[in-house]
């Protein structure tokens, strides 16, 4: 199913039964286009970039991401899926179009959408991850760049290319995909992992959202891991954000525990605690 892929650049204009308008985001191995259908309705279309078209592993990852997204639908905090396939030899995924920006962009510019909706955004992120786990998958690349926020504060989780089926017991990955700054110690060390890697990643993202800096900075994997294991220089959230309620700090700290057995065991437990602390719907 991966034959006849195109290495030609994708340009604005007709694309099958759609019209590509402009690139609104780029990341990984694909560009996200704003496109319209024959009724001029807007959609987001993820199109594989030509430099990856000849790489079998990249094509398989793209296809897998599309299939996982299709499997985790019907949740308000997961980006909407319509279809995927090929048009003129180019792999694509047609999704919901959301006017907004990713979470990293929002907190970098202290956007009012983020600051005015921070409690709801944190809860929505957690509920999105809860749904993914309950649908039978680990996201494995949860980070602020993969959290879209609309102009009215609506949250959508995106990018499921690295997602893996959730097994009954921790699994050892043959490769270590993802972003090191959001990986827990057991993943950085190549040990077996389970859904608690996403819980750690959620903790890193929440820490950033609430303090505007990473909990375990580092230029490479070794430095990040060293800071995770040796926490002499670790800064508590309330030292950076004194207005933060102590119970919320404690939730984030539990997510960031070095030992996965000391973290929340499931996202459902984390979500329940967040609801009690945040008093948001």
Q: Three-state SS across the chain?
A: CCCCCCCCCCCCEEECCEEEEEEEEEECCEEEEEEECCCCCEEEEEEECHHHCCCHHHHHHHHHHHHHHHHCCCCCCECCEEEEEEECCEEEEEECCCCEEEHHHHHHCCCHHHHHCHHHHHHHHHHHHHHHHHCCEECCCCCHHHEEEECCCCEEECCCCCCEECCCCCECCCCCCCCHHHCCHHHHCCCCECCHHHHHHHHHHHHHHHHCCCCCCCCCHHHHHHHHHCHHHCCCHHHHCCCCCHHHHHHHHHHCCCCHHHCCCCHHHHHHHHHHHHCCC
Using an 8 Å Cβ cutoff, are 200 and 183 in contact?
yes
- Establish whether 220 is a catalytic residue: no
Give percent of the chain with pLDDT exceeding 70. Answer: 96
**Range in 70-79, 107-116, 120-129 with the lowest mean pLDDT:** 107-116
pLDDT of 281 strictly over 70: no
The average confidence (pLDDT) of the chain is 93
210 — phi, psi (to 5°)? -90, -15
In a domain, 270, yes or no: yes
Name the pLDDT band for 176 (thresholds 50, 70, 90): confident
What's the whole-number mean pLDDT along residues 69-79? 96
User: Could you report the per-residue pLDDT of 214-225, keeping only the tens digit for each?
Assistant: 999 999 999 999
Query: Of 131, 127, 103, 124, whose CA–CA distance to 115 is shortest?
Result: 103
Q: Is residue 7 part of a domain?
A: no
Mean pLDDT of 168-177: 85
Q: Do 86 and 225 sit in the same domain of this protein?
A: no
Among candidate residues 95, 130, 154, the one where a domain is terminated? 95
Write the CATH number for 272: 1.10.510.10
Residue 215 lies in a domain: yes
Please report which confidence band the pLDDT of residue 1 belongs to, taking 50, 70 and 90 as the band edges: very low
Phi, psi values for residue 173, rounded to 5°:
-80, 140
Range of the domain at 231: 100-278
Please identify which of the residues 88, 124, 141, 259 carries the catalytic annotation. 141
238 with 105, same domain: the answer is: yes
pTM score, two decimals? 0.93
pLDDT tens-digit readout, 246-272: 999 999 999 999 999 999 999 999 999
The reply to whether 168 falls in a domain is yes
The proportion of the chain whose per-residue pLDDT surpasses 90, expressed as a percent, equals 83
* Per-residue pLDDT, 100: 92
């Amino acid at each position: 199913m991966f034959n006849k892929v195109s290495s030609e650049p994708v340009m604005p204009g007709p694309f099958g039964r759609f019209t590509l308008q402009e690139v609104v985001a780029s990341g990984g191995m694909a560009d996200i286009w704003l496109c319209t259908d024959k009724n001029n309705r807007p959609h987001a279309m993820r199109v594989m970039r030509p430099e990856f078209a000849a790489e079998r592993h990249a094509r398989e990852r793209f296809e897998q991401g599309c299939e996982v997204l299709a499997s985790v639908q019907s949740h308000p905090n997961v980006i909407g899926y319509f279809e995927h396939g090929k048009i003129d030899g180019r792999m694509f995924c047609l999704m919901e179009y959301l006017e907004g920006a990713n979470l990293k962009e929002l907190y970098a510019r202290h956007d009012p959408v983020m600051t005015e909706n921070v409690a709801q955004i944190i809860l929505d992120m957690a509920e999105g991850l809860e749904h993914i786990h309950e649908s039978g998958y680990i996201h494995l690349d949860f980070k602020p760049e993969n959290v879209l926020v609309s102009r009215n504060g609506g949250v959508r989780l995106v990018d499921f290319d690295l997602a893996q089926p959730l097994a009954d017991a921790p699994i050892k990955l043959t490769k270590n995909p993802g972003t090191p700054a959001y990986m827990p110690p057991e993943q950085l060390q190549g040990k077996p992992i389970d859904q608690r890697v996403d819980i750690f990643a959620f903790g890193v993202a929440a820490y950033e959202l609430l303090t505007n800096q990473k909990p375990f900075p580092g230029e490479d994997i070794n430095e990040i891991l060293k800071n995770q294991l040796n926490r002499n220089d670790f800064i508590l959230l309330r030292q950076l954000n004194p207005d933060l309620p102590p119970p919320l700090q404690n939730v984030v700290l539990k997510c960031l525990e070095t030992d996965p057995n000391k973290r929340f065991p499931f996202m459902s437990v984390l979500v329940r605690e967040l609801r009690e602390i945040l008093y948001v719907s």
